[in-house]
Chains A and B, each alone.
Chain A
Amino acid sequence: MNARVPHEPVLGGAPSARRFGAVNWRGLATFFLREMQRGFKIWKITLAAPAIRALLFASVFGLAIDRPDAMMAGMPFLEFLVPGLVAVVALERAFESSSFSIVYDKTEGIFADLSMLPLTPGEIVLGYAAATVAGSLVVAAVVWAALLVFGSGLPHAPLSLLFFISVGSLMVGLFSQISGLWSRKWDYIISVQTFIFMPFVFLSGVFFSLGELSEDARAIAHLNPVFYVVDGIRYGLTGYGEADLYLAAAVSLGVVAVLWIGAYRLFAIGYRFKS
C-alpha cells in the first residue's frame, strides 16, 4: 500500500470573501443554470408538450385543408404554417420561463431572497433573460426538427432565424419578468398570459398572412411588435417576409431596449418584493 498524503484542511485563517470585478460572472452563471434547470427539469411539460402541440396543429391544418392548391401568401399552406408554429412555441416558452419562476418563488415566499444575492439588478435581469433565450432556442430547435416530417426544409437564412428567435424570446422574456414582478398570485400571471400575451401572439400572423386581413385590421396588426418577430422568423425559415427585414429588426430591438430598461428599473426599486 502506498502512503498517501492525506488532504490537509487549511487551518490557518478564516475563509475570505470571494472577490469579483465589475460583473459577478460566477453568480450570473449560477443564476442562469438554476433558471435553465428549473425549466428543463419538467421537460415533459416544457419540451415534449409544445412539440406534440405543434405536431397536432400541423396535422389538424393538414387534414383540414383537402385542396392541394390551398395557398397562403403564395406558398403551400403548411410551409407558411411551420415558421408560425416554431415562433409560437418559442415565444410561449419565453413567456413562461421567467414569470412562472418568479411567481413560483413569490408563492413559496422565497422571492425576496433575490435581493440578498450578490447580484446587481442588471445581473438579475440579464440572468433571467439569458435563460429565457437559451430555453426558447432549445424548444424552437426541437419543434422545428419535429416539424420536418411535414416537409419543412432547411432554414433559408439561418442567421436571421437565430437573430429573430433570440430577439423575440428576449422581448417576451423581459415582458414576462415585468409581469412576474407585477403578479401577486398565479391568478395575475395567468390573466396576463390569456388576455395580453396570447392575443398579441396569435393575432400577429402566426397562422395567416396579414394579406388576409382588411386594410384597417392590417394597419392595426402592424402596430403589434410580435408581428415583426414572427415575420423575421418566417423569413429566416422560408425566405418569405411581409415587412422589411431591417425595419423588423429595428422595431424588435427598440421594443427590447424599452422593456429592458423597464425590467431593470423594477428590479432596482424592488417593485413588489422589497417593501
Chain B
Amino acid sequence: MNEKAAADGAARLATPPSVRRFGLVNWRGVWTLYQREVKRFLKVFTQTICAPIITTLLFYTIFSIALHDRVRVVSDVPFVVFLAPGLIMMAILQNSFQNCSSSIMVAKVQGNIVDVLMPPMSPLELICGYLGGGVTRGILVGSVTTIVMTVVAGFPFHDVGAILYFGIAASAMLCLLGMIGGIWAEKFDHMAAITNFVIVPLSFLSGTFYSIGRLPELWQTIAHLNPFFYAIDGFRYGFIGQADSPIWLGMLVLAGIDVVLFLIVHRMLVTGYKLKS
C-alpha cells in the first residue's frame, strides 16, 4: 500500500472540511439553483416544452382557419402574420408564470421549501436563480415555436432587438408574478384561481387576436391598462414593424413593472412572508 496516500487520507480525516468562502455574490449557489430549476422542467419536457408548443401551433391553425378573412387588422399585414407573434408571446407568458409558481408551490406543499431557504443565499440570489429558470423555459418555448412557425408560415423579422427585449422582459414579469403567486398561495386551488381568473383573462384580452387600434374608445383605454398588452404589442412590433402604442412606452412600462414586482418578491423573501413562520 502506498504510504503517502494513506497519510494523506489520515490527514484529511483529521482536519474538518473548511467553510467555502465566497465574495459579495454566492455565484455557485445561484448557478446551482438555476440548474435545479432548469432540470426540474426538462425532466418532464413533454409537459413543459412539447405540450405548450403543440398547443400554440394548434391554436394558430384553428384561429387562422376561423378568422383569416373575417378580421381586418393592420392595413397591409395578413392576419396569420399578425396573429403569430401574439400567440408566441402568450406561450412565453404562461410558461414563465407556470415555471416559477409551480416550483415554489410544489416545494411548499411537499415541505422541501426549506432546502431553498436554508442555503447561504440572499433573497436577491434566490430570485435570480428562479428567474433564470423561468425565463429559460419561456424563451425555449418561444424560440422553438417561432422557428416552427417561420418554417410553416414564414414571417418577417423587423427588429430582433425588440423581439429579444420584449421576450425577456415579459418572461421576467410573469416569472416574478409567478413567484408572488407561489409564495402567496396555500393550496393548488389558489394557484389555479390565479391562473384562470387573472393570467388567462389578461393574456386573452391583450390584443393577441385583434388590433387594439380598431376597438372602441373605452376598450382601448382598458387595454392600455393591461401590462400584457405592451408585451404583445412590442413583441409583435419586433416582427411586423407596426405597433398600436409607442415602443418606448412599452419598454418603459415593462421595465417599471419588472422593477416593482422584483421589489415585492424581494420584500416577501426578506420578511419570510408565508415562507418562514
Contacts and interface: CB of A to CB of B under 8 A. Distances in A.
Interface residues of B, number: 33
A191 interface: yes
Nearest to B53: A194
A160 to B, nearest CB: 24
Contacts of A190: 46-47, 51
B275 interface: no
Contact of A63 (B58, B65, B189, B219): B219
B70 A67 contact: yes
A212 interface: yes
Given A60-B205, A194-B54, A212-B66, A52 B46 contact: no
B151 interface: no
B70 A60 contact: no
A108 B201 CA distance: 33
A52 B200 CA distance: 9
A194 B70 contact: no
Given A49-B196, A63-B215, A77-B70, A194 B209 contact: no
B214 A66 contact: yes
Contacts of B200: 52-53, 56
Interface stretch (A129-137, A175-183, A201-209, A232-240): A201-209
A191 B65 contact: no
A56 B47 contact: no
A66 B46 CA distance: 38
A230 to B, nearest CB: 12
Q: How would you classify the secondary structure of chain B's contact residues: helix, strand, loop or mixed?
A: helix
B70 A63 contact: no
Q: Interface residue tally of chain A, by bracket?
A: 35 or more
A202 B63 CA distance: 10
A45 B192 contact: yes
A61 B200 CA distance: 15
Nearest to A51: B196
Given A60-B205, A194-B55, A202-B62, A48 B46 contact: no
Contacts of B109: none
Interface in B94-147: none
Contact of B72 (A42, A49, A67): A67
A187 interface: yes
A5 to B, nearest CB: 48
A66 B192 contact: no
B55 A66 contact: no
Interface string B175-209: 00000000000000100110011001100110011
B252 interface: no
Contacts of A203: 58, 61-62
A10 to B, nearest CB: 44
Nearest to B71: A64
Listed residue (A59, A64, A194) with the most chain B CB atoms within 10 angstroms of its CB: A64
Interface string B46-78: 110011001100110111011100111000000
A208 B66 contact: yes
Nearest to B54: A194
A26 to B, nearest CB: 31
B7 interface: no
A213 interface: yes
A199 interface: yes
Contacts of A66: 71-72, 210, 214
Contact of B196 (A53, A72, A206, A213): A53
Contact of B44 (A65, A187, A195, A199): A187
A59 B210 CA distance: 11
A66 B72 CA distance: 7
A198 interface: yes
B189 A45 contact: yes
A44 interface: yes
A207 B192 contact: no
A59 B50 CA distance: 28
Contacts of A207: 62-63, 65-66
B62 A52 contact: no
A162 to B, nearest CB: 26
A206 B63 CA distance: 11
A64 to B, nearest CB: 4
Given A48-B196, A208-B62, A213-B65, A191 B204 contact: no
Contact of B210 (A44, A53, A63, A191): A63
Interface of B: 44, 46-47, 50-51, 54-55, 58-59, 61-63, 65-67, 70-72, 189, 192-193, 196-197, 200-201, 204-205, 208-210, 214-215, 219
7 contacts: A53-B200, A60-B204, A63-B215, A64-B210, A65-B71, A194-B47, A195-B50
Given A60-B204, A64-B67, A199-B54, 8 more contacts: A44-B192, A49-B192, A56-B205, A57-B204, A61-B66, A65-B67, A70-B70, A194-B55
